Amino acid sequence: MMYTVFVPEDRGSSILKKTLYSLMLSDDVVREVDLMAHQTGTNRSNLVNQILAEYFSVTTSERRVGDIFRAIEELVAPSPELVPFFAPNAFTMSLKSSLAYKYRPTIKYEVALYRSGQDSLGELSVIFRTQSAALIDAMADFFRLWKHIEDETLPEPVDCALYDGRFVRAIGVPQGRDCSCDDIAGVISEYIKLLDRLLKGYLSGELSAKAVEKEYRSDFAKRAIII
């Protein structure tokens, strides 16, 4: 029987294009493909694309993002402060952290990576849900401070926004070098660990605004990759 699948075609542009192809496949094969697609949380077209990509040693966007997320998971695993989670074939992963505050509220760092792009690799969201007005105000103060520090430190401005219970920052494309999945995973992991540590220090009162800026600039001076 003839089945139609969408197969992504990367033509070297910033947009991953999809082209419609018709394939003659056995009903038994399609049945197994659909079963595996359901088990792995994807769809028929994406699974067929992944299988063909692996066979021909082609790195797809899904595989690249999955490799980055697995590397991030390994890098933060030794730390008791961050608990990572991501689903197979997903373009988003989350890392949960607890604040040393009343009722130990949690915050979530959500990393969303794009299939491809020239201006941004994706975005990092810091999501905080709490009923404490004092904590909300303190978090907002910290992220305004964080934006000010980055605006003064980074060579290029980075898009960011503060919403109700969420701070969103673009993940910039490293300039001047080709980065591997491990490189990207490393710089994202270190950035989140730094942000988490300074945020907790600021909220606990252990770090003043000047101390946060000093720690940030000290870390920035050691970075080989800027995002």
Kindly report, as residue ranges, where domains of CATH 3.30.1460 are found in the chain.
62-220
CB 150 within 8 A of CB 140: no
Which listed CATH number (3.30.300, 3.30.160, 3.30.1460, 3.40.1000) goes with 62-220?
3.30.1460
The reported pLDDT for the residue numbered 6 is 56
Kindly give the confidence (pLDDT) of every residue in the chain, 227 residues in length, as a single tens digit, with 9 standing for 90 and above. 555 555 554 433 333 456 777 778 888 888 888 998 888 778 888 788 778 777 776 667 788 899 999 999 999 988 889 999 988 778 999 999 998 777 778 899 999 998 765 678 999 999 988 888 889 999 999 999 999 999 999 998 899 999 888 999 999 988 877 889 999 999 999 999 999 999 999 999 999 999 999 999 999 999 989 99
pTM of the model: 0.79
Reduced to 3 DSSP states, what percent helix, strand and coil does the chain have, rounded to the nearest 5?
A: 45, 25, 35
Give Cα 202 distance to the centre of its chain.
24
